[in-house]
Chains A and B, each alone.
Chain A
């Protein structure tokens, strides 16, 4: 694995595409072939699509592209607009740096390059910094309305790649930055996942008891959703990011609810016995959850509104914590049918259950299937710790991602599979952290109270 150093100037090592199948989406080869063919036949009007050295880094720590992101142009003397421009710039910078696909060239290397006009870019100046890409942006305003216009340029070919314009109130500056960063990822990497506008649902005790919260993927805008005196637990997103399934004791029983976060509509889904650990299928047409409604904890499948309920496990054991494979045909789950809790895989009909292999440890739970289908994370109890373990399904690999830092629980993948969030008490209290899929680049997203069971939207 290559490593990168932030102080190193110049070209980062790139990884041969042939050697990076593991980071590809399943079926990507076929998709690329189709795209390639389409590009060839539609050459007449296809816009420039800089593919000359597309490499997708294997996990993070590898910066594939050098990016120059000079400050945005602002009409002089407008402090409010200047602040908004700074917010957009910082958001873009942080997003692109976080993604792992870009290495941001430190600003001091180009502060002497004169203010930018996108019609008169001196590409030679930027090429001398060994930049692959350059973003040129400007903000203007009319009244309270902010307009951000930006373009992305390929420095090597001296060509325009993409141009966008966004408008809105001053307060949406951060949102604008995230949206343009999404566009850059879409065009340069081919990643259509809206990573930077994704959200994280989690449970926090900062206001007294376990309440449901939502925050931006980077820890910003932490928003409380429930206001009650009873526990709220184990949230799960719908694939469109508009609904959250969670368990709540608001009727003195652990019932499963669905909440439409923008409409403000709360609906009961399953209210008999224990109802917990819910998960939407990748296409959003089904939900899986654990319920003791028929006696002991079993896994059920239902429509998202709770109708069409079907039990798919039938053992005297505890069966819980279902996690869908991205193809929607398999589920990883926890069962103590063999003694202590272990991770099993079954098909979505509940048949063909077999123990996940390889799997070590005598107490495992909280499986999370990666978006590319290749990896399953689980939490393993090791002495007085919980650690997160990553299993590679094709090559039967097993890698422990945390060690020696207390309890590390409830891993959840980013939409692009390049990051993992989890809850850890390594600082003394439980906080939400983000790391890359090899366990590096750990950063803390929450600070107040205790925070549990984070789930990243798709």
Chain B
């Protein structure tokens, strides 16, 4: 055999083998294309359905009775406010909590829900945890003052329930708050 031809063939074979050397490249299948115009539609036609998304069958959310609503609107328990991104109690908040504690001790059957809220300048996920932390800051302070832990619950609304929907410093400072809601007499 002609050695030169052999060498050429060898190089050619190597090139063929190594050409698709780019790692991960799918190998091309040497499949002859089917005759032009020949199609292979499936013999059965699948039925397409657009599944219906069902709404939730709701039951009414329990709301506070009118008499409690009235107590809450009378401002028996005062709100406390927080600094930006903070959950520690400011001096004015401590003053308010002392007054709230006195009211709760005087009306010893009242049960309350402490709602923690945030302004809009935080993210959804972090804010809702920050609101939780704010509600618990007031809760822990009231427990330390001797208000029974069993009379209080906490809930965070994050930034979902602003008191003032405006986008300014004044609104933000009023939205960073704990609200004390009487839920039972």
Q: What's the minimum C-beta distance from A275 to chain B, rounded to whole angstroms?
A: 10
Q: Return the CB mask of A16-48 against B: 1 if under 8 Å, else 0.
A: 111001001000110011011101100100111
Minimum CB distance partner of A171 in chain B: B50
Chain A residues whose C-beta falls within 8 Å of the C-beta of B61 in the assembled complex: 228-230, 249-252
Q: What's the minimum C-beta distance from A281 to chain B, rounded to whole angstroms?
A: 18
Tell whether, in the assembled complex, residue B54 and residue A381 are in contact, meaning their CB atoms are under 8 Å apart.
no
Q: Does chain B have a CB within 8 A of A160?
A: yes
Q: What's the minimum C-beta distance from A181 to chain B, rounded to whole angstroms?
A: 13
Q: Does chain A have a CB within 8 A of B75?
A: no
Q: What's the minimum C-beta distance from B127 to chain A, rounded to whole angstroms?
A: 9
Q: Which candidate, B99-107, B117-125, B143-151, is the interface stretch facing chain A?
A: B117-125
Q: Does chain A have a CB within 8 A of B176?
A: no
Q: Does chain B have a CB within 8 A of A223?
A: yes
Tell whether, in the assembled complex, residue B24 and residue A292 are in contact, meaning their CB atoms are under 8 Å apart.
no
Chain B residues whose C-beta falls within 8 Å of the C-beta of A172 in the assembled complex: 48-50
A176-217 residues with Cβ-Cβ distance < 8 A to B are: 176, 179, 190, 210, 214
Q: Does chain B have a CB within 8 A of A371?
A: no
Minimum CB distance partner of A35 in chain B: B26
A399, B121: Cα distance in complex, Å: 22
A151, B38: Cα distance in complex, Å: 11
Q: Which candidate, B1-9, B10-18, B29-37, is the interface stretch facing chain A?
A: B29-37
B36-71 residues with Cβ-Cβ distance < 8 A to A are: 36-42, 45-59, 61-62
Q: What's the minimum C-beta distance from A95 to chain B, rounded to whole angstroms?
A: 15
How many residues on A have C-beta within 8 angstroms of the other chain's C-beta atoms?
Answer: 101
Tell whether, in the assembled complex, residue A365 and residue B160 are in contact, meaning their CB atoms are under 8 Å apart.
no
Tell whether, in the assembled complex, residue A365 and residue B123 are in contact, meaning their CB atoms are under 8 Å apart.
yes
Q: Say whether, besides A29-B24, A274-B132, A165 and B125 are in contact (CB < 8 Å).
A: no
Q: What's the minimum C-beta distance from B23 to chain A, rounded to whole angstroms?
A: 6
Tell whether, in the assembled complex, residue A254 and residue B29 are in contact, meaning their CB atoms are under 8 Å apart.
no
A259, B54: Cα distance in complex, Å: 10
Q: Say whether, besides A227-B56, A264-B57, A159 and B36 are in contact (CB < 8 Å).
A: yes
Q: What's the minimum C-beta distance from A156 to chain B, rounded to whole angstroms?
A: 10
Q: Does chain A have a CB within 8 A of B85?
A: yes
Tell whether, in the assembled complex, residue A166 and residue B45 are in contact, meaning their CB atoms are under 8 Å apart.
yes
Chain A residues whose C-beta falls within 8 Å of the C-beta of B155 in the assembled complex: 249, 252-254, 274
Q: What's the minimum C-beta distance from A456 to chain B, rounded to whole angstroms?
A: 16
Chain A residues whose C-beta falls within 8 Å of the C-beta of B141 in the assembled complex: none
Q: What's the minimum C-beta distance from B66 to chain A, rounded to whole angstroms?
A: 16
Range of interface residues on B (Cβ < 8 Å): 35 or more
Q: Return the CB mask of A428-457 against B: 1 if under 8 Å, else 0.
A: 000000000000000000000000110000
Tell whether, in the assembled complex, residue B53 and residue A277 are in contact, meaning their CB atoms are under 8 Å apart.
no
A49, B122: Cα distance in complex, Å: 50
A278-325 residues with Cβ-Cβ distance < 8 A to B are: 290, 292, 295-297, 318, 320-321
Q: What's the minimum C-beta distance from A71 to chain B, rounded to whole angstroms?
A: 19
Chain A residues whose C-beta falls within 8 Å of the C-beta of B52 in the assembled complex: 262
Chain B residues whose C-beta falls within 8 Å of the C-beta of A157 in the assembled complex: 33
Q: Does chain B have a CB within 8 A of A326?
A: no
Tell whether, in the assembled complex, residue B125 and residue A119 are in contact, meaning their CB atoms are under 8 Å apart.
no
Q: Return the CB mask of A114-136 against B: 1 if under 8 Å, else 0.
A: 00001111010000000000000
Task: Choose from A121, A163, A263, A453 the contact partner of B41 (Cβ within 8 Å).
Answer: A163
A39, B56: Cα distance in complex, Å: 48
Tell whether, in the assembled complex, residue B24 and residue A37 are in contact, meaning their CB atoms are under 8 Å apart.
no
Q: Does chain B have a CB within 8 A of A276?
A: yes
Chain A residues whose C-beta falls within 8 Å of the C-beta of B26 in the assembled complex: 32, 35-36, 39, 51, 54, 190
Chain B residues whose C-beta falls within 8 Å of the C-beta of A384 in the assembled complex: 121
Q: Does chain B have a CB within 8 A of A168?
A: yes
Chain A residues whose C-beta falls within 8 Å of the C-beta of B122 in the assembled complex: 363, 365, 381
Tell whether, in the assembled complex, residue A163 and residue B123 are in contact, meaning their CB atoms are under 8 Å apart.
no
A39, B25: Cα distance in complex, Å: 13
Q: Return the CB mask of A45-68 against B: 1 if under 8 Å, else 0.
A: 011110110100000000000000
A172, B158: Cα distance in complex, Å: 40
Chain A residues whose C-beta falls within 8 Å of the C-beta of B124 in the assembled complex: 233-234, 366, 409-410, 452-453
A264, B55: Cα distance in complex, Å: 7
Tell whether, in the assembled complex, residue B36 and residue A158 are in contact, meaning their CB atoms are under 8 Å apart.
yes
Q: What's the minimum C-beta distance from B173 to chain A, rounded to whole angstroms?
A: 15
Q: What's the minimum C-beta distance from B109 to chain A, rounded to whole angstroms?
A: 20
Q: Does chain A have a CB within 8 A of B177?
A: no
Q: What's the minimum C-beta distance from B130 to chain A, rounded to whole angstroms?
A: 7
Chain B residues whose C-beta falls within 8 Å of the C-beta of A410 in the assembled complex: 123-124
A384, B172: Cα distance in complex, Å: 13
Chain A residues whose C-beta falls within 8 Å of the C-beta of B42 in the assembled complex: 163-165
Task: Choose from A36, A224, A292, A341 the contact partner of B27 (Cβ within 8 Å).
Answer: A36
Q: Say whether, besides A226-B58, A227-B55, A167 and B47 are in contact (CB < 8 Å).
A: yes
Chain B residues whose C-beta falls within 8 Å of the C-beta of A35 in the assembled complex: 26
Tell whether, in the assembled complex, residue A386 and residue B123 are in contact, meaning their CB atoms are under 8 Å apart.
yes
Q: Does chain A have a CB within 8 A of B170?
A: no
Q: Return the CB mask of A135-175 against B: 1 if under 8 Å, else 0.
A: 00000000000010101001001111001111110011011
- 14 A–B contacts, CB within 8 A, in A order: A17-B22, A32-B26, A36-B26, A43-B29, A46-B31, A51-B26, A151-B41, A158-B36, A160-B34, A160-B37, A226-B55, A274-B128, A276-B128, A381-B123
Known: A48-B31, A223-B55, A264-B56. 11 other contacts (CB 8 A): A18-B22, A39-B27, A120-B37, A149-B41, A149-B45, A159-B33, A163-B40, A230-B61, A250-B58, A274-B155, A336-B126
Sorted nearest first, the 6 A-B pairs with minimum C-beta distance are A159-B33, A36-B27, A29-B24, A264-B54, A365-B123, A168-B48
